């Protein structure tokens, strides 16, 4: 099963307080968060293309010697959903995995679970069970409902799909001016495809604050 990895790296990362996109921050080994994220997919023989969606388009286009043929650069959009759409247009794989550029701790076992699930399903969500009790709070600040934690999960990335499925749903979302909370929510809204969940890892965090480094 061959796929394209779309790495969304066009955010501003204001909570990191760096003054620039956090994916370019250096980790302990002096390599950037984005480089670590890219390396996950470069090491996977089933990944035939990596699309990096970035706001720094001209910068990367001038780095031809540093980017092998496996990597394609796409322009970031005004929103994450628009960035994903731009990445999908450039994708050549029958399947696509959409991954956060600031999520460099994806492990090989999780990646294998996703690929296994794609053999039977057209949409796959990497997730972990919720550890905390989740409450619904009303506008008045009072609790309205306590959810059954055993039925809840926290969504992670990559979120994987048959490429034409996600692209079709993204087009419909654009026409309807619908903004999803993640890629799966777009597929939920504009298709009848059931989304398979597979086990992720609690270590697969998205770097949001300096403490996450």
Confidence of residue 64 (pLDDT cuts 50, 70, 90): very low
Alpha-carbon distance of 112 to 207, in angstroms, equals 22
Domain span at residue 184 reads: 3-212
Give whole-number Cα distances, 130 to 90, 155, 159, 208, in Å: 34, 9, 18, 19
Query: How would you class 60 by CB atoms within 10 Å of its CB: exposed for 0-12, middle for 13-18, buried for 19 or more?
Result: middle
Alpha-carbon distance of 5 to 177, in angstroms, equals 25
> Facing residues of 49 across strands?
4
CATH number at residue 178: 3.90.550.10
Q: What is the tally of structural domains in the chain?
A: 1
- Cβ 50 vs Cβ 42: under 8 Å: yes
Q: Which residues contact 138 (CB under 8 A, 6 or more apart)?
A: 144
pTM here?
0.90
Confidence of residue 52 (pLDDT cuts 50, 70, 90): very high
pLDDT at 22: 80
Alpha-carbon distance of 100 to 133, in angstroms, equals 26
Bridge-based pairing of strands 3-8 and 123-129 is: unpaired
Taking the CA atoms of 11, 176, 92 and 123 in sequence, report the sign of the dihedral they define. positive
pLDDT at 65: 46
Taking the CA atoms of 209, 153, 192 and 165 in sequence, report the sign of the dihedral they define. positive
Question: Does residue 116 surpass a pLDDT of 90?
Answer: yes
pLDDT at 210: 66
Residue 180: other Cβ atoms inside 10 A:
18
Q: Three-state DSSP class for 115?
A: helix
Q: Dump pLDDT digits (tens) for 14-45.
A: 555 555 568 888 888 888 899 999 999 999 99
pLDDT at 59: 54
Q: Dump pLDDT digits (tens) for 128-152.
A: 999 999 999 999 999 999 999 999 9
Bridge-based pairing of strands 95-100 and 3-8 is: parallel
Of 181, 184, 186, 182, give the one whose Cα is nearest residue 195.
184
- Cβ 96 vs Cβ 160: under 8 Å: yes
């Amino acid at each position: 099963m061959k796929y394209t990895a779309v790495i969304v790296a066009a955010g501003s990362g204001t909570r990191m307080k760096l003054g620039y996109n956090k994916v370019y921050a250096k980790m302990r080994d002096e390599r950037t968060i984005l480089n670590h994220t890219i390396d996950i997919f470069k090491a996977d023989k089933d990944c035939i293309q990596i699309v990096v969606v970035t706001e720094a388009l001209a910068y990367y286009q001038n780095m031809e010697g540093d980017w092998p043929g496996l990597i394609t650069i796409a322009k970031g959009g005004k929103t994450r959903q628009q960035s994903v759409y731009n990445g999908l247009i450039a994708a050549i794989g029958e399947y696509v995995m959409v991954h956060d550029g600031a999520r460099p701790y994806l492990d090989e076992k999780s990646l294998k679970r996703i690929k296994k699930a794609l053999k039977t399903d057209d949409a796959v969500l990497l997730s972990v069970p919720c550890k905390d009790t989740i409450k619904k709070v009303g506008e008045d600040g009072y609790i309205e409902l306590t959810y059954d934690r055993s039925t809840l999960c926290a969504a992670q990335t990559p979120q994987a799909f048959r490429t034409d499925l996600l692209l079709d749903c993204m087009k419909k979302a654009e026409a309807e001016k619908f903004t999803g909370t993640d890629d799966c929510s777009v597929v939920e809204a504009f298709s009848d495809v059931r989304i398979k969940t597979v086990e992720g890892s609690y270590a697969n965090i998205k770097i949001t604050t300096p403490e996450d480094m």
